[in-house]
Chain A
Amino acid sequence: MNDAWTNLKPIKTSGIWDQWKEEHESLFRDIRLSLYLFSRSPLSVTGMILVGVFFLIALIGPMIVPFPEDATGAVHMSQKLIEPDSRFWFGTDEMGRDIFTRVILGTRISLRIGLIIVCVAMGIGVPLGITAGFVGGWINEVVMRITDIFLSIPGLLLALAIIGALGPGITNSMIALSLVWWPGYVRLVQGKTLSLKEEAFIEAAHSVGAGKARIIFLHILPNCTSPIIVKASMDMGMAILAAAGLGFVGVGAQPPAPEWGAMISAARNYLPNWWWYAVFPGLAIFVTVLGFNLLGDGLRDILDPQSRGYYRE
């Protein structure tokens, strides 16, 4: 009687949680490896910190600024052009508005612009690129030639031309810059798709009966994400810079919105005596773009399979 019971092995009821953990164990290991590699590069970590601060400020900015009304049209002529001091950390502009407040609130504007541009560009470019690369033939030719045409026109010039047709404003400058940015993604993704198409595992998927849709979404797309992520992170910085450029020229955000480029444009007239007006928004742009560039570089280094040290003889 006892024997029968002792021979029974305890039934392992692996719950859903355990199952999930087991299934994703390798993924966790991969993520840990990525984090470790990333942390090895001080510049990459710096980039990540800068970007993190940027996002944080964009998120909580409106709650911490001392003079929120200065971004929405308040005017205090009595305070105009005061040097940075304990009250106004970045000084005030020609309408007496606190520059610190405006720079912080400008972060949100820049983040919105950058995100939307990159997302729209990806949304147009990635599907087009995969389709062109995968289907090939004349579709590929047509898509790539159109891409070539767009890429042959200097970006900012093209954006200005589009804004000229649409009219100034933040929304229109986002549309314009998205139209400038999407061809880059097409190129990237089409190239990657072309090389992936020749890989054995794609052929293997065919041989087990996978249809085109399955192959594109489950095989090709996941293998494209690495270069897309790297490009997107670097593009964020460049998109923000470009948007600031349009703002500088006057066709981006309209007053009184505290957009960094527009602020620098207004500050032109007050250099060099009232230097703080131009310097602080300029620094904000510089630090943000630098952060995204460093982050992008860092991501590219860790996503490169060589550097992941899959050690082989």
Chain B
Amino acid sequence: MNTESSILTVKDLRIHFDTFEGRAQVLDGCSFRLGKGDTLGLVGETGCGKSITAKAILGLLPVPPTRIVSGEILFHDKNLLSLSEGEWRRIRGSQIAMIFQDPMTYLNPVFSIEKQMVDVIRGHARHRNGSMSRRAAREKAIALLEAAHIANPRSRIREFPHEFSGGMRQRVLIAMALAGDPEILIADEPTTALDVTIQAQILRLIKELVERFHHSVLLISHDLGIVASVCRRIAVMYAGDIVELTTIERIFQSPAHPYTKGLLRAIPDLSTREGKLVGITGSIPDLIDPPKGCRFHPRCPYVMGVCKEVKPVLKEVAEEHQVACFLFGLP
């Protein structure tokens, strides 16, 4: 992955969050790149910072109590963290779009789908210093709904969110996300609220859209399987750091970081009952007073002395495979 083809570069992002008990160091130097047509999955458990990263990219974090301490998010060489709200609005939705987790709460229940989509489409057109008539926007909306495989889009567009099922609402949201012809699509747990068979439909849709329109996709999930079915690359996050960054192939064939290995051992296998699930001893660290050195060291079966003092950074250990662990080379 060379820098020229990377359209989104997150560099050393550090974010803190003020709480009553103190300052939680939610993200502690997160770095990754996303190229054109690239699909990257952010995987991690509670508190790893994956959702925060996504929201930071879109500037959706409320600035107190969140504090962006350091780092850059470069979108085509422009640092998104230094944008004004006006500049943000031009980018949000039109160049970087987001699909959220719960389709019901992200659609306004009192407006028809048509109204909501037309608003969004015309808004994007305005930001591109153009304008679009209502009729043209409506046609575009219908085309988008069709691309999202909603049957009878011409008549259904006039309906209201509650008349759609969960899976269909998510398709509508995906259609709306595509409305601005974005370069990057960020999907934050897009199928968590959906049934298994519906989830399969939505994942297939996302894959199809990526093949058709070559969006870059950042998919956030706690489910390794979901990420594996859509993305080519994966970043495993733990307590605010990316601990392993590589391709899907390599993460299953040769997982490197102890946390990744622990995670894989904890996932039940659909094809067999053989073997025992192994949890990871210990629990997620307190982000207000995180462990010194490597944040995973209290739970790591391979912990060494240096792990307790110095924090490992991502290092390339193989082709397209980075790991943040001293097992692969001392500092």
Asked if A and B touch directly (CB within 8 angstroms), the answer is yes
Chain A residues near B (Cβ < 8 Å): 33, 36-37, 308-309, 311-313
Q: How many residues of B contact A (CB 8 A)?
A: 13
Contacts of B52 in A (CB 8 A): 313
Nearest CB in chain B to that of A310: its residue: B19
Question: Would you call B49 and A309 a contact (CB within 8 A)?
Answer: no
Provide the bound-state CA to CA distance between A50 and B218, in Å.
53
Which 8 pairs of residues, A with B, have the shortest CB-CB distance?
Answer: A311-B19, A309-B19, A313-B47, A309-B20, A313-B51, A33-B20, A313-B46, A311-B24
Smallest CB separation, B72 vs chain A (Å)? 22
Q: Tell me whether B48 and A313 are in contact (CB under 8 A).
A: yes
When C-beta atoms are compared, the residue in chain A nearest to B24 turns out to be: A311
Q: Does B17 make an interface contact (CB < 8 A)?
A: yes
20 examples of A-B residue contacts, CB within 8 angstroms? A33-B20, A36-B20, A37-B20, A308-B20, A309-B19, A309-B20, A309-B65, A311-B17, A311-B19, A311-B24, A312-B46, A312-B47, A313-B26, A313-B46, A313-B47, A313-B48, A313-B49, A313-B50, A313-B51, A313-B52
Please measure, in the bound complex, the distance between the C-alpha atom of A312 and the C-alpha atom of B52, giving whole angstroms. Answer: 10
CB distance from A31 to the nearest CB of B (A): 13
Q: Which residues of B contact A308 (CB under 8 A)?
A: 20
Q: Given A36-B20, A313-B48, A313-B50, 16 other A-B contacts at CB below 8 A?
A: A33-B20, A37-B20, A308-B20, A309-B19, A309-B20, A309-B65, A311-B17, A311-B19, A311-B24, A312-B47, A313-B26, A313-B46, A313-B47, A313-B49, A313-B51, A313-B52
| Chain A residues within an 8 Å CB radius of B51 | 313
Which residues of B, 43-102, contact A by the 8 Å Cβ criterion? 46-52, 65
Interfacial chain A residues near B46, Cβ < 8 Å: 312-313
Distance (whole angstroms) from the CB of B56 to the closest CB of chain A: 13
- In this complex, the member of B17, B20, B26, B46 whose beta carbon has the largest number of chain A beta carbons within 10 angstroms is B20
- Once bound together, how far apart are the Cα atoms of A312 and B26, in whole Å? 10
- Distance from A226 Cβ to chain B, minimum over Cβ atoms (Å): 18
Residue on B with the closest CB to A40?
Answer: B20
